[in-house]
Amino acid sequence: MNKKDRNSRKYSRKALERVNEIIGKYPTKISDFATVKEESRAWIQMKIQQFRECLKNVKFLSKPSWWEPLRLARNKTAHQTEDFSDEEFSDLCSKVFSNIEKITGDLQANIKRYRQQSKKKRKFENFASPVFGSENDRKQLVDAMEDMISPVEPKYVKIEFPKNNYAKIAEDTLSEILRHGNTHPYALLHEGVSENIQTDILEWLQKTQATIEKENPFFDEAIFLAQQKKLSAQEIALDLSAENSKIQYHYKRLPSVSDSKRGSIAPSTLDFDFYRKSFSEQKKIKPDKDGKETIAWKSAEKLDVLCRNFLSDMEKNLIDRKNKWEMERIDALRKQFLEELYKKIEKFMRLEKLLSPFIKDLGRLWDLSNKAFETSGFEILEQFAKLLEQDESLQELAKMIGKQSRTQEIFEKEMRDKIVIKTEWHPKPAYRGEINGLRYSSDIASVLPAELAMMKNPAAKKLFQLKFAQKQLLSFDYQNDKAESKEEHESEEVDVAKKDQKGPVIICVDTSGSMQGTPENIAKTVTFALSKIAMEEERKCYLISFSTGIETLDMSDFKSGDALTRIVQFLRMSFNGGTDASPALKHAVQMLQKDGYKNADVLMISDFVMGTLPDDLVKSIEEEKKKNTDFYSLVIGSSGNQSTIACFNHNWLYDTSDSRAQRHLVEHLQTMRTRT
């Protein structure tokens, strides 16, 4: 399903909302369109225009029966600059109002037909609690959230959020998120971020609703209210008019009412004193036949009214306090949610910059951003990324290795279009200019004097007026030539230099015990930088770590999906053991014979505290140099074996004891850059 098909539900939603606005204002339709006032006519025309704009992108399984008549009626009046005539307005409205039930039904069916691509959104739409509204309300909530972040055309027509509390909470929460920093533009550029913000909000809404329901402290109070509603008016009046009211006694001891138990819940404002006085005033005592006192009531009607008012006040008091508690609790949960979400977005941005070369599916980063760095080894990557940012010399080195192509330029023929601008002169009529000749006209300013003379002759005056009316007066024809530029497209054959892509990189890293400390950090940082750059540019990168033996790591195997894990393993390893560079360089030479690495650069990072290389290996290195392969060495420290270092044609020194080592290396690299 393409993007237009996915958005068809939102287009349908926007069109349906415009129709519902018309139905809401004219539920019984309009019997006589001629009686509609100008202001109402303008409103109807505007809504129908908006409806048509929303409708043009809607995809139906088949065109509805009302589509063509409505299209023709609208096209007939679409480009008018003047107000509609009564007949045109009546024709347009009759097409809409006569089909309005069918239009509504078809749009609703279309909304129902398109299902959400996101599983989480689809689950919310189909199975979320009824407190979020009907299934259609839940779909409308999802559509409204999507449209708020990335609106579909026409953008000035918004999809309204459903009319319920949780939809309003979702709207306010999303609006606050989009106003935070550069979240909105970032979400527009990253569809995965936008999608995950929405699904996180939906999940939070459901968790919040479950939390509110579980923590509800008004459960006992609601049961108590239900019990009081079962009592008769006389039972309530008799209890409340007594000095020791049982209703008041039990009410004051409810967890949500009691001052010692209610906590942050607002205090109850139910006025028992008022009702005690009011019920007492309705009470009268009279003796029965036996002379005993009995209680009677002055007015049964007033008694019922007082009883209803009492129960109504108790219920209103419960609802107001419960709503206030819910909003305070929701605000607290929302504040916590937003703090976590902002941290998640911030961490996502960092992870994207850090890990995007290693993780091709950036959608995974949203889940990773919800986990601690320590659990996945990201703290290692972050550590070396910071080291790289702080060390200008290592950045220069990482950028330079493998930049240039190892093969000569190959020229090939290519046809290219070019634009040729030519000047042409075109005659243009002018008020005054060169006289080009004579012409017939009614232009008094250019009429010949002989023709004007007829105006003074009474006998010829009528002839002048006739010729003027017929535009037959002989006149000067003025003309200026105007220069106009004309673009013409032509094709030409040119020689174009065809270059190879940036070269592969083979990195040999010394992991012996002598590299512990600062040399180890430098080696790991350069390795991290080169592997990151290689993956970003989809260049091959091969890592050989060596001490007394070698371990290899092909960082170019993107399909395996575990490049991140493998580079983390290397950065975490401890450097120890002796130093023997020969196996690593022999393996590097062998890799240079393979198709993918024939044009590679070889970089060795070491303190070069090692023995001399075997003669056959030195000879092999020299042969590869003749094939335009460059061998680079990054010498860490000043105690290296000079004969071994001399085998490399580019040697860079990073003296850890020199405070200006970074600057010296940068200067050396800049010199190398200008030579290559």
Residue 417 included in any domain: yes
Let me know whether 662 and 520 are in one domain. yes
Q: Is 624 helix (H, G, I), strand (E, B) or coil?
A: helix
Yes or no: say if 188 and 194 are a contact pair by the CB < 8 Å rule: yes
Task: Say if residue 231 is in the same domain as residue 257.
Answer: yes
Residue 492 and residue 525 in one domain: no
Mean pLDDT is lowest, of 304-313, 352-361, 429-438, for 352-361
670 touches 396 (CB < 8 A): yes
On whether both 425 and 538 belong to a single domain, the answer is: no
| CA 155/CA 516 separation, integer angstroms | 60
Is there a domain that residue 294 lies in?
yes
Most confident of 20-34, 253-267, 587-601: 253-267
Q: Which of 281, 308, 331 is the last residue of a domain?
A: 331
Question: In the predicted model, what is the mean pLDDT of residues 29-38?
Answer: 84
Weakest mean pLDDT among 166-175, 365-374, 534-543: 365-374
Note down the domain range covering 78.
1-114
Domain annotation covers residue 454: yes
One domain for residues 62 and 93: yes
Task: Locate 437 and state its tokens.
Answer: 């000749």
With a threshold of 0.85, does the pTM exceed it? no
* 240 and 326 co-located in one domain: yes
Question: Contacts from 181-188 at CB under 8 Å and sequence distance 24+?
Answer: 183/345, 184/149, 186/345, 186/349, 187/149, 187/150, 188/149, 188/150
With the CA atoms of 437, 441, 446 and 449 taken in that order, what torsion angle do they form, in degrees rounded to the nearest 10?
A: 90
One domain, residues 491 and 536: no
Looking at the domain assignment, is residue 150 inside a domain?
A: no
Q: What value does the mean pLDDT take over residues 108-112?
A: 90
Which residue matches tokens 């949780």? 166
Is residue 135 assigned to a domain?
no
Question: Which DSSP helix (H) or strand (E) runs through 603?
Answer: strand 601-606
* Average pLDDT value over all residues in the chain: 82
Tens digits of residue pLDDT in 394-418: 566 656 665 544 444 444 556 666 6
Domain end call among 436, 463, 498: 498
**179 falls within a domain:** no
- In this structure, are 321 and 420 located in the same domain? no
- Total domains in the chain come to 4
Domain membership of residue 91 (yes or no) is yes
Do residues 589 and 652 both lie within one domain?
Answer: yes
Query: What does DSSP assign to residue 445?
Result: G
Which residues are CB-contacts of 19 (< 8 A; sequence separation ≥ 6)?
51, 100, 103, 104, 107
Q: What is the CATH number of the domain that holds 588?
A: 3.40.50.410
**Dihedral over alpha carbons 348, 353, 354, 359 (to 10 degrees):** 80
Same domain, 518 and 664: yes
User: Taking Cα atoms as reference points, which of 83, 94, 86, 91 lies closest to residue 34?
Assistant: 86
Domain membership of residue 381 (yes or no) is no
pLDDT at residue 376, rounded to an integer: 42
Length of the chain: 676
**In this structure, are 651 and 577 located in the same domain?**
yes
Question: Residue 148: what pLDDT?
Answer: 94
Which of 498, 524, 554 is the endpoint of a domain? Answer: 498
Residues 102 and 3 in one domain: yes
